[in-house]
């Protein structure tokens, strides 16, 4: 039976007759679903957000870097989105791209993963492959998905195939796309791996097999921990260099001329996005099960987590030097997305900075060409809309804080009109007396 199911699925993927189900039509699931659709597959997009489903079915994207026409074309060619999880029975591949946040104790919160697989399980049938793409700790696929699938009487690796293939999306990166970023795949069995390779090979330029789902899960964590630790290092170096009166960016640029043994990372106001601030803690939590303490990772998290307060301290000091207090000051925050040229504010350090300044009594405004209105968030609340940057609007603020350096900002105008600039991204000339590096 295994051979029949395996060969049947392989044929469906190779001739593109397979139906692809993508669960979670957000920053990860939406590009993946659109790529499958553009490659000739019939796609069903699943999401619990009825408004999002209606918008996508109408040909509209809620993600800035995905054009409406791309969605509209996919819909015309047969992509359909739904909140009805019973349609999972129609799909040959069930790909889970749901959030994996932390709870208030900074422990893994798998409620979206478990809720999704629980919603899918009643509609499973032989001849399907289940793929988890959400970033998580090693063992999640084996410990959470496998027993739920087996509870329905299926033999995994024979009737149904189970794989883990971590997402590697980088929104706003013009140099790489979902198709061109290599895709790591691990299977529960050798046949599962073969099916997983067959699933992704038609749409991804290079698929990279690893020996198990746990190896694939660890691969994703290593990638993000590598960035978090190196950013933590350079953020700590920034604080030290600042105390010594040294421009850390000049030092990094000089060090980067070394053609070997050094990779430049640049400091900022903290870590943002749904991956780098969160994923390392998935491993630290799991490591405790094995009696291990991941001190290096936790130290990096401590350093990076302190950066918003460091920037707030710079704002306080800069205003104080001008005989002003934070309380009552009008402060304009430039950029609330977590990184340049995207509309994603998840875990953005800008938001934490805004909250701290508001708590100190400042009057806060923001400008972000990618985020017109402050979004609904679970833990952060501002009734604000992005203001238009003009010489008149910039000049009326006591302090302009550059938190996210979008390319669309007119830096020359801002430098000319702002009374005080606190720069956490190194875009302004720190030699100017009204510019304070943060």
Q: How far apart are CA 197 and CA 122, in angstroms?
A: 26
**Residue 81 annotated among the catalytic residues of the structure:** no
Q: Choose, from 81, 97, 192, 275, the residue flagged as catalytic.
A: 275
Which residues fall within 8 angstroms of residue 341, CB to CB, at 6 or more apart? 172, 370, 406, 407, 408
Q: How many C-beta atoms lie closer than 10 Å to residue 246's C-beta? A: 13
Backbone angles phi, psi at 65, to 5 degrees: -80, 0
Q: How far apart are CA 178 and CA 10, in angstroms?
A: 21
The secondary structure element, H or E, covering residue 414 is helix 411-417
Q: How far apart are CA 140 and CA 121, in angstroms?
A: 16
Q: How far apart are CA 8 and CA 143, in angstroms?
A: 27
- Residue 25: alpha-carbon gap to chain centroid: 14
Extract the tokens encoding 44.
Answer: 């069903």
β-bridge pairing 399-402 and 435-437: unpaired
Backbone CA torsion sign across 17, 19, 25, 26: negative
Q: How far apart are CA 141 and CA 189, in angstroms?
A: 12
| Contacts of range 64-72, beta carbons closer than 8 Å, 24 or more positions apart | 64/342, 64/343, 64/370, 65/171, 65/172, 65/342, 65/343, 66/30, 66/31, 66/34, 70/34, 70/38, 71/34
Q: How far apart are CA 418 and CA 400, in angstroms?
A: 7
Instruction: Kindly report the length of the chain.
Output: 438
Q: What is the CA radius of gyration of the chain?
A: 24
Tokens 């009008």 belong to residue: 330
Q: How far apart are CA 108 and CA 112, in angstroms?
A: 11
The neighbouring-strand residues paired with 162 are: 130
Q: What is the DSSP letter of 145?
A: I
What's the distance, Cα to Cα, between the start and end of the chain in Å? 63
Are 167 and 97 in contact by the 8 Å Cβ rule? The answer is yes
Q: How far apart are CA 423 and CA 438, in angstroms?
A: 5
Q: How far apart are CA 438 and CA 435, in angstroms?
A: 10
Residues known to be catalytic? 275
């Amino acid at each position: 039976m295994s051979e029949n199911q395996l060969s049947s699925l392989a044929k469906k993927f190779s001739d593109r007759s397979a139906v692809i189900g993508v669960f979670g039509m957000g920053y990860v699931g939406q590009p993946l679903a659109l790529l499958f659709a553009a490659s000739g597959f019939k796609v069903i997009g699943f999401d619990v957000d009825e408004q999002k489903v209606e918008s996508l079915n109408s040909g509209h994207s809620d993600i800035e870097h995905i054009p409406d026409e791309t969605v509209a074309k996919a819909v015309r060619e047969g992509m359909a989105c739904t909140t009805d999880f019973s349609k999972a029975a129609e799909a040959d591949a069930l790909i889970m791209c749901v959030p994996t946040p932390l709870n208030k104790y900074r422990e893994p919160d798998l409620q979206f993963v478990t809720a999704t697989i629980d919603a899918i399980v009643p509609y499973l049938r032989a001849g399907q492959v289940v793929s988890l793409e959400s970033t998580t700790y090693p063992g999640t696929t084996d410990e959470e998905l496998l027993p739920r699938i087996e509870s329905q009487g299926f033999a995994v690796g024979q009737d149904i195939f189970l794989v883990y293939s971590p997402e590697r999306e980088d929104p706003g990166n013009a140099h790489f796309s979902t198709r061109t970023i290599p895709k790591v795949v691990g299977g529960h069995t050798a046949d599962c791996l073969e099916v997983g390779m067959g699933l992704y090979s038609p749409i991804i330029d290079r698929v990279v097999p690893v020996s198990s789902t746990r190896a694939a899960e660890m691969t994703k964590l290593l990638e993000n921990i590598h960035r978090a630790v190196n950013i933590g290092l350079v953020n700590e170096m920034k604080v030290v260099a600042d105390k010594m009166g040294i421009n850390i960016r000049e030092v990094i640029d000089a060090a980067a001329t070394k053609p070997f043994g050094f990779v430049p990372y640049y400091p900022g106001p903290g870590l943002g996005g749904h991956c780098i601030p969160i994923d390392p803690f998935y491993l630290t939590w799991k490591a405790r099960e094995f009696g291990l303490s991941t001190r290096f990772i936790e130290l990096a998290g401590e350093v990076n987590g302190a950066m918003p307060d460091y920037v707030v301290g710079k704002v306080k000091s800069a205003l104080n030097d001008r005989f002003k207090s934070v309380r009552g000051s009008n402060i304009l925050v430039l950029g609330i997305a977590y990184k340049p040229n995207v509309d994603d504010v998840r875990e953005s350090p800008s938001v934490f900075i805004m909250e701290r300044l508001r708590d100190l009594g400042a009057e806060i405004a923001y400008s972000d060409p990618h985020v017109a209105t402050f979004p609904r968030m679970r833990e952060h609340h501002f009734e604000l809309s992005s203001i238009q940057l003009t010489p008149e609007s910039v000049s009326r603020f006591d302090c302009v804080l550059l938190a996210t350096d979008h390319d669309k900002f007119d830096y020359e105008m801002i430098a000319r009109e702002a009374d005080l600039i606190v720069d956490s991204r190194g875009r302004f000339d720190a030699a100017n007396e009204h510019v304070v590096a943060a």
